[in-house]
Structure 1
Amino acid sequence: MRVAIVAESFLPNVNGVTNSVLRVLEHLKANGHDALVIAPGARDFEEEIGHYLGFEIVRVPTVRVPLIDSLPIGVPLPSVTSVLREYNPDIIHLASPFVLGGAAAFAARQLRIPAIAIYQTDVAGFSQRYHLAPLATASWEWIKTVHNMCQRTLAPSSMSIDELRDHGINDIFHWARGVDSKRFHPGKRSAALRKSWDPSGAKKIVGFVGRLASEKGVERLAGLSGRSDIQLVIVGDGPEAKYLQEMMPDAIFTGALGGEELATTYASLDLFVHPGEFETFCQAIQEAQASGVPTIGPRAGGPIDLINEGVNGLLLDVVDFKETLPAAAEWILDDSRHSEMCAAAWEGVKDKTWEALCTQLLQHYADVIALSQRIPLTFFGPSAEVAKLPLWVARALGVRARISIEA
């Protein structure tokens, strides 16, 4: 099978979208398939790679979105269509499509290649968080157009599936995320690391892992700051790092971590808190659970599927998350229940492997390819879909209206 992956984000930028694409590429390689990746280039002076596991990475220019540093955008160029035409994949995998992926969805229709869209980033939610309400409304219109151009949309949680359906998106299937239960494991807990955080050994260690940006809501952890019984550990980097350090001067900020260092950090926590309400899945919660750490998350988005209240953690209402967090943390950290919740956290995710999830994904590929062979796709025509295509995207792709032709 030949798979073209068009990703809104890729290495050296590390986030949930990148992580999922890497796991898919590894599975494709291990099972003898071929792949090509089209992705944004590196920003600033970061080093970018041209290959991964021998698969070619085709780069497009990157621009920043004003006010939203967390969403660098790959600029679609005419070469995107040309690269897809030359590679001639069996299927196009759109990883969290918005601008680059949106353009690729139109290119897929032009080239009569079936496509699957992976819903992963709540762009509309981000827009609201950054007080850009008009952009949020326009975002849903665009997301609907892009996803309905594809033959299937895969969404990671029940909440995201419901939201997509509410906004008129069709052919939605559930596809969650796997976790590396060998890398993230309770056995990675380090007494030495814990002592470096709390030399007294008397405090409970509560942590967060993720990008330090507005949509993550990390400032809500301030409810646990300044306490004599809790040490906050905040892992990550981003535009709000300085602001958060000033807000929580007693917290330990480690910067971004990866590999074994990240796995050891997760396992050395007593409680993990993710306060952001815009997570379509929230891989960080799953990685914490695989490390044997109970979790607290918002009663919104992906965490609703991951946290079994009172068993492996708690869900808090977004509106008063900061205010209710201290009592919730105290309840979980109580010695009478903490060890039992740690065991439940690990037990609930130990079998959710990337291998199993990627096997499901390849079945989705096969189903869509088979369907497209039975029901031929159409070329672009003078339709409502073309009318919704932004002029700058149309020019970049070289799209020209034409009469729809059935095979």
Structure 2
Amino acid sequence: MVTFGRARTLNLTGGGLVSLRVAIVTESFLPALNGVTNSVLRVLDSIASHGHEAMIISPTYTERWYQGVEHFRAPAMPFKQFAVGLPHPSLTANIAQFRPDVVHVASPFWLGGQAIAAAARLGVPSVAVYQTDVSGYLARYNMQFARAAVDRMIAAIHAPATVTLAPTPASASYLTKLGVKNVDVWGRGVDLELFHPDRRSSPEVRASRQLIAGDKRVVGFIGRLAAEKQVNQFDALMDLPDTHFVIVGDGPERANLEARFAGKPVTFLGSLRGEDLANAYAMLDVFVHFGAEETFGQTIQEAQATGLPVVAPASGGPLFLIQPGVNGYLGEAHRPQTFRPFVHDLLTDDGLRARMGEDARRSVRLKSWDANNAILLQHYERVVAAAKPVGMRERQSV
């Protein structure tokens, strides 16, 4: 069954909030920069700020410690541009040694599936966070023949989880149709201070914009430059008059895209983080995302927080984030020509663009990372409270 709404705040000790030990097993972590990594980093921040303890298991990070949190590296194999974590006997031992109250599994596949199963054997509740549309990616890589098998695998991976958190009602419904039980909806937060409309009027941003685009309007994309993002579909917008395009990010498709758009009014800025990333958003007039396999769309939220109208496909996460005609528009997935009229209208109507930009910011105003992750921590408390106390460590009030 799918449940919606916020988890209940529980008092496990009768005397206040509790200090929890959280084992995080993630299919992606630093140095990879993507939605899974970003979400895990924010969760770690919240765990620390609330006085909880964590450990990390991932296939990508090479260091033993991350900001005081112990890390264990899992074996991995390359697939396309990804490092796919592999099951390993040490995973169960590492989890057991940490003695967690709850196991958080980010975007579980092979590695995460083992972690969920291990948690069940150890009698520890698990929270599985569904973040990657693996089944959808198979179509992108011409592997549709494996889709049914992957759907069965996803169902089997999530079956032992105490609760599965999906980013949108649509993805929750997908999991429920696969037979996954105890599915709830938990979205993603956004840094409302870093990504802010006021940044667009800063002298630094204005100077950068003038240097890159002169007096032209600026349309852009920010994200990983991989095939599933369909950045090549910006072809459909290249004939818009007095328009410059900015593409921010890196990935396996960057060289192909740079060659494709050579001689066109396109600037590639590479991978950016922090203030530089926020300034890149602030240079834009309109944010466009063509990728049709997004389970959520974190960059869409960051654009909205910056006060930008967004044009994206009527597929996946954008359906949850964009209200057509209010804070952006939805084009037809895989039909980039349907995006062009929307982008044209936004570029040529200053009032429309300003109104939608204000509504875009308004649509995320309650989605700070603190507020978002408070809901996650409540999920932790709920599953821990419902778990059998046998074998669990004694918890201390904080």
How high is the TM-score relative to the length of structure 2? Answer: 0.89
Q: Secondary structure at the match of 1:373?
A: coil
Measured in 2, the distance between the counterparts of 1:185 and 1:233 equals: 19
Q: Secondary structure at the match of 1:149?
A: coil
Q: Secondary structure at the match of 2:312?
A: strand
Measured in 1, the distance between the counterparts of 2:194 and 2:388 equals: 40
Q: Which letter does structure 1 place at the counterpart of 2:297?
A: C
Deviation at 1:319, TM superposition (A): 3.9
User: Are the equivalent residues in 2 in contact too, given 1:6–1:95 (CA < 8 A)?
Assistant: yes
Q: Which letter does structure 2 place at the counterpart of 1:268?
A: M
Residue equivalent to 2:47: 28
Measured in 1, the distance between the counterparts of 2:141 and 2:34 equals: 19
How far does the alpha carbon of each residue in 1:312-343 deviate from its partner, in whole angstroms, 9 at most, with x for none?
A: 100111142x1112111012222231111111
Residue equivalent to 2:10: none
Q: Which letter does structure 1 place at the counterpart of 2:170?
A: M
Residue equivalent to 2:141: 130
Deviation at 1:240, TM superposition (A): 1.1
Q: Secondary structure at the match of 2:339?
A: helix
Residue equivalent to 1:206: 219
Residue equivalent to 1:274: 289
Q: Which letter does structure 2 place at the counterpart of 1:108?
A: A
Residue equivalent to 1:51: 65
Measured in 1, the distance between the counterparts of 2:88 and 2:217 equals: 51
Residue equivalent to 1:399: none
User: Which of these residues, 329, 341, 346, is aligned with residue 332 of structure 1?
Assistant: 346
Q: Secondary structure at the match of 1:191?
A: helix
How far does the alpha carbon of each residue in 1:148-197 deviate from its partner, in whole angstroms, 9 at most, with x for none?
A: 11010001112111211222211110100000000111122211111121
Q: Secondary structure at the match of 2:379?
A: helix
Measured in 2, the distance between the counterparts of 1:209 and 1:92 equals: 32
User: Are the equivalent residues in 2 in contact too, given 1:224–1:232 (CA < 8 A)?
Assistant: no
1:245 and 2:258 are equivalent in the alignment: yes
1:60 and 2:74 are equivalent in the alignment: yes
User: Which of these residues, 12, 29, 37, is aligned with residue 10 of structure 1?
Assistant: 29
1:59–1:185 Cα change, 3 Å: same
Measured in 2, the distance between the counterparts of 1:224 and 1:41 equals: 36
1:375–1:330 Cα change, 3 Å: farther
Q: Which letter does structure 2 place at the counterpart of 1:222?
A: D
Q: Secondary structure at the match of 1:314?
A: strand
Measured in 1, the distance between the counterparts of 2:286 and 2:173 equals: 29
1:260 and 2:275 are equivalent in the alignment: yes
Measured in 2, the distance between the counterparts of 1:371 and 1:237 equals: 43
User: What pairs with 1:314-393 in structure 2 (closer than 5 Å)?
Assistant: 314-320=329-335, 322-333=336-347, 334-373=349-388
User: Are the equivalent residues in 2 in contact too, given 1:159–1:300 (CA < 8 A)?
Assistant: no
Measured in 2, the distance between the counterparts of 1:228 and 1:51 equals: 51
How far does the alpha carbon of each residue in 1:318-371 deviate from its partner, in whole angstroms, 9 at most, with x for none?
A: 142x11121110122222311111111112112211111111101111111122
Deviation at 1:61, TM superposition (A): 2.4
Measured in 2, the distance between the counterparts of 1:255 and 1:363 equals: 37
Measured in 1, the distance between the counterparts of 2:182 and 2:23 equals: 21
User: What pairs with 1:146-295 in structure 2 (closer than 5 Å)?
Assistant: 146-189=157-200, 190-199=205-214, 201=215, 203-249=216-262, 250=264, 251-295=266-310
User: Are the equivalent residues in 1 in contact too, given 2:292–2:334 (CA < 8 A)?
Assistant: no
User: Are the equivalent residues in 2 in contact too, given 1:36–1:55 (CA < 8 A)?
Assistant: yes
User: Are the equivalent residues in 2 in contact too, given 1:11–1:49 (CA < 8 A)?
Assistant: no
List alignment gaps of at least 5 residues for structure 2.
1-19, 393-398
Measured in 2, the distance between the counterparts of 1:317 and 1:192 equals: 35
For structure 1, which segment, 213-222 or 367-376, has the greater mean C-alpha deviation from structure 2 after superposition? Answer: 367-376
Deviation at 1:30, TM superposition (A): 0.6
Shift >3 Å, 4+ stretches: 374-377
Deviation at 1:226, TM superposition (A): 4.5
Residue equivalent to 1:98: 109
Measured in 1, the distance between the counterparts of 2:65 and 2:195 equals: 26
How high is the TM-score relative to the length of structure 1? Answer: 0.87
Residue equivalent to 1:390: none
Deviation at 1:51, TM superposition (A): 2.0
Residue equivalent to 2:58: 39
User: Are the equivalent residues in 1 in contact too, given 2:287–2:310 (CA < 8 A)?
Assistant: yes
User: Are the equivalent residues in 2 in contact too, given 1:144–1:169 (CA < 8 A)?
Assistant: yes
Measured in 1, the distance between the counterparts of 2:313 and 2:29 equals: 27
User: Are the equivalent residues in 2 in contact too, given 1:313–1:332 (CA < 8 A)?
Assistant: no
Q: Which letter does structure 2 place at the counterpart of 1:149?
A: P
